[in-house]
Amino acid sequence: MNEIVRNPQEFNYFLIQHVQKRLSGTSVISVDEIEAIRQSILFVLDHAVEKESVSDRFENGKQVIKRKLQQAEQCYNEILTTYQSYGIESFEGTLREIGTFFTTYDSDYQANVSCAGWIDYQLAHGADDLIYQGIDFISEYLRRMALEVRFLQNVPEQLVFEILSVYSDHLGFDYRKDINNLYQIIFDQWISKWVSGGDPRSSLLLTLNEMSYVYDRFLREEFPATLLGFLDKNTYYQQTFRQLQQRVLALKSVADLSNLFLTEMEQRKELRLTPPMAATDYALLMQSYDQLDTEKRMGLIAEKMDSPYDLLDYLEQHLEPNGFYLQLFALLSVETITGLFLLLSSYGSLEEDTQLYLSDFRSFIASMSRENQKKLDEALQHYHLGYRDFS
């Protein structure tokens, strides 16, 4: 942008004339606004081919920018017809903001302004808004986004959803709000599955054996020829692969790969506990309970309460003497104890000390045989509780 150095008097005259066009009536324009217009003019002139006057160069630069704007909008529309956002909010919001850019872009007075500050969806290799401005930034951002979208198009939708489901379950986040770049996650899984010799068309999750093999291949820099051939076709994918390679090589051991890749996890089966009894039946049972002595109370609960939900309600509502709950738990069936254990674990209640029965329950579990304790641990690992209707 050496237009000022080339002919400062002509440029300053054009700037004054251009600013005056911006004014209407008695409007006042600030020094900052004048400087912004000046920078905009320089941006346009920088896109022009050689012409005799500043005015001619400015008009030519606007025509060049107009063509770039049309090309960028065409790329944008192609993305709109091919992308799958998977509900990721930052992706959808960014596309809306870019759509607004095309309807509000002003090459006369704000040519160097882009919507970089509005973009929430971070690309794996983003366009630097200190290097790119205005339409140049949007063009470069869309070019890179198109490459990411194109890669994701080649990955079966069900495999992407599989990764997103495990991602959310593993990290405890809603991927729609948490993920700011889907391509990077899927690329890393896809490529690593390829390196492992597994079939990325059936699942992108790595087994423990595959992770070990992947780590070894990265250390040795030994990769399938088909993979290298794929990467050679696109510098953007090469850049993503090199980034993945650097992250793997920075790890201290294969065990650290679990923080980088998503692995196959044994699917926990859904377990539906015995539903609670009707409210009226529960109330009648409690009336009978209140009329009995301590020993008979234990027998009544052990005989009549099949549902862990009812048992938990009872435990939280009744305060009995020390030792009562330990004896009660000993009368309950293994199935009822297991259900109560899963229920308390799912609520996080086993870590609390607020109620006497919790202390007694932990003591009872500790007193169980190793075989029964192992069964409880296996139940916790292999089952999760199904939905309970609280209505």
Q: Is the pLDDT of residue 116 over 50?
A: yes
What pLDDT shows up at residue 44?
Answer: 94
What pLDDT shows up at residue 61?
Answer: 93
- H or E element at residue 269: strand 269-271
Q: Is the pLDDT of residue 22 over 60?
A: yes
pLDDT tens digits, one per residue of 309-323: 889 889 888 888 888
pLDDT tens digits, one per residue of 61-111: 999 999 999 999 999 999 999 999 999 999 999 999 999 999 999 999 999
When mean pLDDT is compared over 68-72, 109-113, 324-328, 338-342, the highest value belongs to 68-72
Q: Is the pLDDT of residue 269 over 60?
A: no
Q: N- to C-terminal Cα distance for the chain? A: 70
* Spatial CA neighbour of 203 closest among 213, 190, 212: 190
What letter represents residue 311's amino acid?
A: L
Q: Of 176-190, 202-216, 376-390, give the lowest mean pLDDT range.
A: 376-390
CB 34 within 8 A of CB 77: no
CB 15 within 8 A of CB 37: yes
What pLDDT shows up at residue 388?
Answer: 45
What pLDDT shows up at residue 382?
Answer: 61
Q: Is the pLDDT of residue 168 over 90?
A: no
Rounded average pLDDT over 177-186: 92
pLDDT tens digits, one per residue of 225-249: 999 999 999 999 999 999 999 999 9
What pLDDT shows up at residue 258?
Answer: 81
Q: Token pair of 308, please?
A: 């862990």
Distance CA 114, CA 119 (A): 10
* Spatial CA neighbour of 200 closest among 143, 159, 248: 159
SS3 state at 270: strand
pLDDT tens digits, one per residue of 345-361: 777 666 666 677 888 88
What pLDDT shows up at residue 380?
Answer: 67
Question: Please, which pLDDT band fits residue 202 given cuts at 50, 70 and 90?
Answer: confident
Question: Please, which pLDDT band fits residue 344 given cuts at 50, 70 and 90?
Answer: confident
What pLDDT shows up at residue 264?
Answer: 75
Distance CA 254, CA 97 (A): 42
> 383 forms bridges with which residues in the sheet?
269
Distance CA 98, CA 119 (A): 8
Q: Token pair of 328, please?
A: 């009660």
* Spatial CA neighbour of 127 closest among 112, 140, 111: 140
- Indicate the pTM of the whole model: 0.66
Q: Token pair of 51, please?
A: 């012409």
Share of the chain above pLDDT 70, in %: 90
pLDDT tens digits, one per residue of 2-13: 555 467 888 898
Q: Is the pLDDT of residue 206 over 50?
A: yes
